[in-house]
Amino acid sequence: MANSRAFALVPLLICVLSCHAAVSYAAAPVPAKEDFFGCLVKAIPARLLYAKSSPDFPTVLAQTIRNSRWSSPQNVKPLYIITPTNASHIQSAVVCGRRHAVRLRVRSGGHDYEGLSYRSERPEAFAVVDLNKMRAVLVDAKARTAWVDSGAQLGELYYGIAKNSPVLAFPAGVCPTIGVGGNFAGGGFGMLLRKYGIAAENVIDVKVVDANGTLLDKSSMSADHFWAVRGGGGESFGIVVSWQVNLLPVPPTVTVFQIPKTVREGAVELINKWQLVAPALPDDLMIRIIAFGDTAKFEGMYLGTCKTLTPLMSSKFPELGMNASHCNEMPWIKSVPFIHLGKQATLFDLLNRNNTFRPFAEYKSDYVYQPVPKTVWAQIFVWLVKPGAGIMVMDPYGAAISATPEAATPFPHRKGVLFNIQYVNYWFDEAGGAAPLQWSKDMYRFMEPYVSKNPRQAYANYRDLDLGRNEVVNDVSTYASGKVWGEKYFKGNFQRLAITKAKVDPQDYFRNEQSIPPLLAK
């Protein structure tokens, strides 16, 4: 791809916009005898239910799908879509689903890379609980806390916080279009990861509907259950209705910079230095890299002013050549759309749920513990200009995210991690995927010697079915099949997650191809 085009589209490759159709939909008629749908309409208004036979069903299903690969007819689609407006609707959906042998999958925002929140690879009767209508954000600035519904997008959370205080923030994902429910459930990290860690470790309470249809909070659930829902992956342990989070202080002014460097301008040498410097910087400074074509874009956010940042950069990373001309000073809240969409973005872009960018896409991830040799970085840029090449997004760790013990949350990628890699590839027509898909597989294979080992780790929110799929025996996902992919996401925490699953959902009602399987006592 041409560098100018790639540079302009990079934020959209990772943070595609969501969709919210502002129209009213007609629900399917109630059947004469009670089946799953008949059970639902006793407790949920019919206008919130969409049968597969409804003419509006395709629109409702598609409204937050961001990866067009999963929109095709061969995907197994839900029998019904339920769009609850309160927790009691979710409870009723679970009770009716259990009664009539219809499983539930749960969708909050749609960034689900493999689409498992709204599709099934195996034929089965399931419905989708789409949380799109549950988006409340209630901020208590004095207590520095907020309650946020799972269906809200991160941009709506950030906007709600900023309306109440210009000096409070929350350390979740970079992209404002990500659904809160999915982001928090798998960990959630962004430009504040080095200062405040991941979203999940800053969750202080939840409201969750369990596999029996009971509404629980921290005080009424076990400590293991509360631990599991904060980073153990979405859907496995119930449907999280809302999250209470601690809000964290940021200064009135932060400074953002974006410095692109081509290979000819020394990108290889700079990345080679960055991988050592970035994880060791003060926690107020985050510098990530987006590498595409022959270019590396160094994107930084500093919790302070340009006057303080420039001497810090001159001391810690002089090779980058950062100076006052690169500084963009702003309140923290304005840094979110700036990083996502660029200088012309506004705060109202944080509330935009209209999706016009729906590429076909493939994603993978890695963790790096040892510096990648300089010669390999040169080879990586050769890969990035090959036909079908994607991009690499690299987030440095260290500071707060690495200081937390591995077992504190299910998210285990902590001490010793230098940086995380996300491989992103996309194309715009169904027939054009051969080269990008091959590049993704080949690039992932090429990187194997230089990333984490035993297991080769991955980030749960960058879901990748190439890592493995659950096998179902006697209507329960097997622990052995889940362990294959599960230890890559969760390392030694996977077993505790599976033991917890056996306690809260032993019949494996909440499941998908990469849900936590129950480790049942023999």
Interval 375-387: pLDDT, tens? 999 999 999 999 9
Q: Find the mean pLDDT for residues 90-109.
A: 97
Contacts of 201 (CB under 8 A, 6+ apart): 230, 231, 404, 408, 409, 411
Q: Is the pLDDT of residue 6 over 50?
A: no
Ordered DSSP codes for 451-473: S--SSPP--TTS--GGG----EE
Question: Worst-scoring range by mean pLDDT, 30-39, 49-58, 319-328, 406-415?
Answer: 30-39
Beta strands 239-246 and 360-368, pairing class: unpaired
Percent above pLDDT 90 for the chain: 88
3-state helix, strand, coil in the chain (%, to 5): 35, 20, 45
Strands 254-262 and 295-302: antiparallel
489-501 burial by CB neighbour count: b if 16+ within 10 A, else e? bbbebbebbbbbb
Beta carbons of 330 and 253 less than 8 angstroms apart: yes
Task: Name the least confident of 15-29, 97-111, 337-351, 479-493.
Answer: 15-29
Q: Contact 199/171 with Cβ under 8 angstroms?
A: yes
Q: Report the amino acid identity of residue 311.
A: P
Q: Say how far apart CA 84 and CA 514 lie, in whole Å.
A: 25
- Residue 33 has a pLDDT of 55
Mean pLDDT within 73-86: 93
Measuring CA to CA, how many Å separate 226 from each of 201, 203, 223, 461?
11, 10, 5, 19
Q: Which of 28-32, 249-253, 307-311 has the lowest mean pLDDT?
A: 28-32
DSSP E strands: which ranges in 131-238?
137-140, 145-149, 168-169, 203-209, 215-217
pLDDT band at 430 (very low <50, low <70, confident <90, very high): confident
The sign of the dihedral angle between the CA atoms of 259, 262, 263, 264 is negative
CA-CA distance, 248 to 465, in Å (whole number)?
35
pLDDT over 70 at 215, yes or no? yes
Stated as kind and residue range, the H or E segment containing 434 is helix 434-447
Q: What pLDDT shows up at residue 30?
A: 41
Q: pLDDT per residue over 496-521, tens digit each?
A: 999 999 999 999 999 999 999 999 88
Domains present along the chain, CATH in parentheses: 36-130 (3.30.43.10), 137-249 (3.30.465.10), 254-330 (3.40.462.20)
Average pLDDT, the chain: 93
Q: Which sign does the torsion angle of CA 486, 489, 491, 495 carry?
A: negative
Contact 479, 518 (CB under 8 A): yes
Strand pairing report for 203-209 and 248-249: unpaired
DSSP H/E element including 481: helix 479-490
The pLDDT, as a whole number, for residue 71 is: 87
3-state SS of 237-294 is CCEEEEEEEECEECCCCEEEEEEEEECCCCHHHHHHHHHHHHHHCCCCEEEEEEEECC
Q: What is the pLDDT of residues 140-184, one digit of tens each?
A: 999 999 999 999 999 999 999 999 999 999 999 999 999 999 999
Structure-block tokens of residue 409: 């949350």
- Summarize pLDDT for 7-34 with one digit per residue, the tens: 444 554 445 433 332 223 233 444 445 7
pTM of the model: 0.93
- At residue 180, the 3 state secondary structure works out as helix
**What residues form DSSP beta bridges with 415?**
none
